[in-house]
Amino acid sequence: MPISKLEKNILQFTSKGIYCPEGDFFIDPWWPVDKAIITHAHSDHARRGMASYISTPITAALMRARISNDIEVHALEYGEPISINGVRISLHPAGHIPGSAQVRIEKNGFVSVVSGDYKVQADGISTPIEPVRCHEFVTESTFGLPSFRWAAQENVLQDILKWWRTNAEVQKNSVLIAYALGKAQRLIKPLSAHGRIIVHGAVYSMNHALNEAGVQVPLGERISEVSNKKDLKGVLVVAPPSAIGTPWLRRFQPFSIGIASGWMAIRGIRRRRAADVGFVLSDHADWSGLLSTIRETGAHRIYVTHGYSDIFARFLCELGYDAHQVETRFTGEAEEIDLTVTQEDTQSD
């Protein structure tokens, strides 16, 4: 959608986060503000300390579970419009995790969309992304390099099943490391039909919160519910990255560790995290997903946030977009495995 020279920017990028001055609200701010619109419940986007929040109902339930049950949240269904100081706002599916949303902001016919994090690959638990037509679009670029291209989820699940069965044949447990919200559930839901799954407390908490919010996922077993721990042989254990090297995890020995992350496309990272195997599975768009989503928005002006923002913005400029790199405090999937990804890493495969 072309932009008239007379049209002003709706958004500002400030030290507190993405700000709409005419509506006087922030999107996913990283410092306390009066009014925050939240795209999804991951901790780098949904932070504590805001006077009031606006989000989807599922994100509201997850924030209450993660931040506090006492927070003030106005829940909006997908597509439900509200007006703040004459600015029209609505939330639209982002496909990232359950409840994730893009924020559509309109003033005097000019439309901005802040996508938060998103993916185009269906995962079986999240409402699929719906690209929103707009004049300007704020996009992540967590995996904004041509080398990042995802295989079908079913293919990855088959690889995980094969690994799990191979370990079970030699009485070894399989520890699958995945982020506690989003990644863990998209794995547990299909894999639960194939055997016994023990989950870390952080994963169980998110499973419970999602079920309370109407997203049906198997809860899994907690280790405290297992009466005879000597019987734990050949099970699948789903745990967040923070569990690696802890006494909680050591009780499952002998085990093999697998990590499910988009970064597992890079062998160097797999070695540094002492993983026996890596499964390339991400809750973020890959290279082609980023480009197809941007194209479908029809936007001409593109703001590129966390990830390979400089490289991706320059590439978009070469394609003819008015693209700009924007500094933010969002971490994307890097937070999941707690490490810094270097340029050398990206060239290791």
pLDDT of residue 340: 39
Final residue before a domain boundary, out of 244, 279, 314: 279
Within 10 angstroms of residue 174's Cβ, the number of other Cβ atoms is 26
Residue-wise pLDDT tens digits, 82-110: 999 999 999 999 999 999 999 999 999 99
310 shares a domain with 225: no
Q: Is residue 5 part of a domain?
A: no
pLDDT of residue 49: 96
Token pair in block for residue 256: 């093999």
268 shares a domain with 213: yes
Q: Is residue 39 part of a domain?
A: yes
Token pair in block for residue 205: 């908490």
Final residue before a domain boundary, out of 261, 279, 297: 279
The CATH number of the domain holding residue 202 is: 3.40.50.10710
Q: Is residue 196 part of a domain?
A: yes
d(CA 17, CA 151): 33
Q: Where are the alpha helices (DSSP H) in 116-191?
A: 153-169, 183-191
In this structure, are residues 43 and 53 in contact, taking their beta carbons and an 8 Å threshold?
no
257 shares a domain with 288: no
186 shares a domain with 102: no
| Backbone CA torsion sign across 185, 189, 194, 195 | positive
d(CA 116, CA 305): 9
d(CA 43, CA 36): 14
d(CA 179, CA 333): 9
Token pair in block for residue 40: 């999804």
SS3 state at 152: coil
pLDDT of residue 61: 97
For residue 263, the enclosing domain spans: 153-279
pLDDT of residue 2: 62
d(CA 214, CA 348): 42
d(CA 297, CA 94): 13
pLDDT of residue 270: 58
Distances (CA, A) of 37 to 100, 149, 266: 12, 30, 34
In this structure, are residues 183 and 260 in contact, taking their beta carbons and an 8 Å threshold?
yes
68 shares a domain with 28: yes
335 shares a domain with 242: no
Final residue before a domain boundary, out of 279, 305, 330: 279
Q: Is residue 3 part of a domain?
A: no
Q: What is the pLDDT along the chain (349 residues), one digit of tens a residue?
A: 665 554 567 999 999 999 999 999 999 999 999 999 999 999 999 999 999 999 999 999 999 999 999 999 999 999 999 999 999 999 999 999 999 999 999 999 999 999 999 999 999 999 999 999 999 999 999 999 999 999 999 999 999 999 999 999 999 999 999 999 999 999 999 999 999 999 999 999 999 999 999 999 999 999 888 767 677 899 999 999 999 999 999 999 999 999 999 999 987 665 556 789 999 999 999 999 999 999 999 999 999 998 899 999 999 999 999 999 998 878 776 544 443 333 333 333 3
296 shares a domain with 256: no
Q: Is residue 275 part of a domain?
A: yes
Domain count, the chain: 2
